């Protein structure tokens, strides 16, 4: 009997110990502990646009709180305000909202005097800025903007010219006529005399015909003279000239470089609000001096220049082949249509896009 009581008491002690242990485990092990909140540090950023060489003062600065893990040594914290505003100037233009780092500022006493516009410092050494005309088509539907990376294509027209005259072939013919016969006598005493030489006269007709060529008719075996039916048709070629070119600015720069960017109040004039800004018609590219000369030559020879947008992280260079009519026929397996004894009616001499109901027709002003 006593042994049974002792066994029951031992079982009760074990059960109570298990319950206490389970409660303790739930309290200290399984209960989620509150996560430590990350510490935040206040760093300085530009509260407004700061021009190149502009002084760094408290009026142009604000602070933002970022996690301690994201703070790097080159940033300026609130405790380092004196280091940031003590005789410091901007090395280059700082946009509003940019976190200021040590590489963006320098001592005013050690700063090199800046001459010229502030955006000239955006051009890397050894490069130059070149502006070329632009349109909606050449700008990839205005997908290209400031800082974009583009490839530049050019299409040119070639014709045959006379090497001496540098004029387009074929040359125009003139009229050569004979007016009679003459004689040529030698010096007195020599007895030299030639009779019956023709006298030729060269004249230019009012409308000279194009120079042709003599061909032999295979059926009649008779020669005939062939002249061109129209002016020489130019031969077109397109090729990609430059790759991974950086766009400095789309549109026109302000006429006053030193003017600061200010926010204009919204106009209440309905007519002014209805006028949309004019689309850009010029683009400035950062290129090498040699490429700038190439672009100038293309621009003043009326070559058609177009730009294609590319990924800024893609720095690969692609080898391309120039596109000509012969290249299109061979590369894309385009057959030359055969001459058939029948044709479509009406005759097709040009390719015309179909007119859709949503198309708008622009009528030029009278």
What is the mean pLDDT of the segment spanning 174-193? 60
Binned at pLDDT 50, 70 and 90, residue 342 comes out as very high
Helices assigned H by DSSP within 26-100: 81-85
What is the mean pLDDT of the segment spanning 318-336? 94
What is the mean pLDDT of the segment spanning 30-51? 76
Whether the Cβ atoms of residue 46 and residue 98 lie closer than 8 Å to each other: yes
Per the structure block, which two tokens stand in for 318?
Answer: 């692609």
Buried-state track 147-176, b at ≥16 Cβ within 10 A, e below 16: ebbbbbbbebeeeeeeeeeeeeebeeeeee
Binned at pLDDT 50, 70 and 90, residue 361 comes out as low
User: Distance between CA atoms of 49 and 97, rounded to whole angstroms?
Assistant: 8
Q: Where along the chain do its domains lie?
A: 40-116, 123-173+231-252+279-337
What is the mean pLDDT of the segment spanning 303-312? 94
**Res. 263: pLDDT tops 60:** no
Per mean pLDDT, which of 28-32, 117-121, 199-203, 232-236 is the most reliable?
Answer: 232-236
Distinct helix (H) and strand (E) counts, the chain: 5, 13
**Res. 237: pLDDT tops 90:** yes
Per the structure block, which two tokens stand in for 233?
Answer: 């048709």
- Residue scoring higher pLDDT (257 or 312): 312
pLDDT of residue 334: 94
**Res. 77: pLDDT tops 50:** yes
Specify the CATH architecture of the domain 40-116: Alpha-Beta Complex (3.90)
Whether the Cβ atoms of residue 209 and residue 173 lie closer than 8 Å to each other: yes
Whether the Cβ atoms of residue 199 and residue 181 lie closer than 8 Å to each other: yes
Of 100, 103, 98, 66, whose CA–CA distance to 81 is shortest? Answer: 100
pLDDT of residue 8: 77
Residue bearing tokens 């596109």: 323
Query: Do the bridges between strand 304-310 and strand 223-226 make them parallel or antiparallel, or are there none, so unpaired?
Result: unpaired
Contacts of the segment 212-219: beta carbons below 8 A, 24+ positions apart = 212/170
105-115: pLDDT as tens digits: 888 766 555 56
Q: pTM higher than 0.85, yes or no? A: no
Whether the Cβ atoms of residue 59 and residue 101 lie closer than 8 Å to each other: no
**Res. 265: pLDDT tops 50:** no
Of 232, 198, 226, whose CA–CA distance to 214 is shortest? Answer: 226
Of 180, 167, 116, 138, whose CA–CA distance to 285 is shortest? Answer: 138
Q: Phi and psi for 19 in degrees, rounded to 5? A: -65, -45
**Res. 156: pLDDT tops 80:** yes
């Amino acid at each position: 009997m006593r042994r049974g009581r002792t066994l029951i008491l031992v079982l009760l002690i074990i059960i109570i110990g298990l319950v206490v242990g389970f409660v303790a485990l739930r309290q200290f092990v399984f209960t989620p502990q509150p996560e430590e909140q990350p510490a935040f540090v206040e760093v300085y950023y530009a509260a407004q646009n700061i021009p190149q060489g502009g002084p760094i003062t408290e009026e142009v600065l604000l602070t933002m709180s970022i996690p301690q893990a994201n703070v790097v040594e080159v940033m300026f914290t609130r405790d380092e305000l004196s280091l940031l505003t003590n005789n410091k100037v901007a090395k280059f233009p700082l946009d509003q909202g940019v976190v200021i780092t040590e590489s963006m500022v320098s001592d005013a006493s050690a700063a090199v005097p800046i001459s010229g516009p502030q955006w000239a410092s955006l051009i890397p050494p050894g490069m130059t800025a070149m502006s070329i005309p632009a349109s909606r088509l050449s700008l990839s539907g205005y997908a290209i903007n400031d800082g974009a990376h583009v490839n530049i294509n050019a299409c040119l027209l070639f014709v045959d010219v006379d090497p001496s005259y540098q004029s387009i072939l074929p040359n125009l013919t003139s009229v050569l006529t004979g007016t009679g016969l003459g004689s040529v006598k030698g010096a007195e005493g020599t007895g030299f005399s030639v009779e019956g030489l023709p006298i030729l006269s060269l004249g230019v007709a009012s409308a000279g015909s194009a120079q042709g060529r003599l061909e032999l008719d295979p059926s009649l075996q008779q020669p005939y003279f062939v002249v061109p039916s129209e002016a020489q048709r130019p031969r077109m070629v397109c090729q990609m000239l430059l790759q991974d070119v950086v766009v400095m600015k789309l549109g026109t720069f302000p006429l006053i470089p030193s003017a600061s960017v200010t926010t204009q109040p919204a106009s209440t004039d309905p007519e002014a609000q209805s006028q949309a800004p004019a689309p850009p018609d010029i683009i400035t590219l950062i290129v090498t001096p040699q490429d700038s000369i190439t672009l100038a030559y293309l621009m003043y020879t009326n070559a058609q220049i177009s730009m294609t947008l590319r990924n800024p992280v893609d720095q690969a260079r692609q080898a391309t082949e120039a596109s000509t009519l012969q290249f299109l026929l061979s590369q894309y397996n385009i057959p030359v249509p055969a001459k058939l004894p029948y044709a479509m009616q009406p005759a097709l001499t040009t390719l015309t896009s179909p007119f859709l109901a949503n198309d708008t027709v622009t009528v030029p002003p009278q």
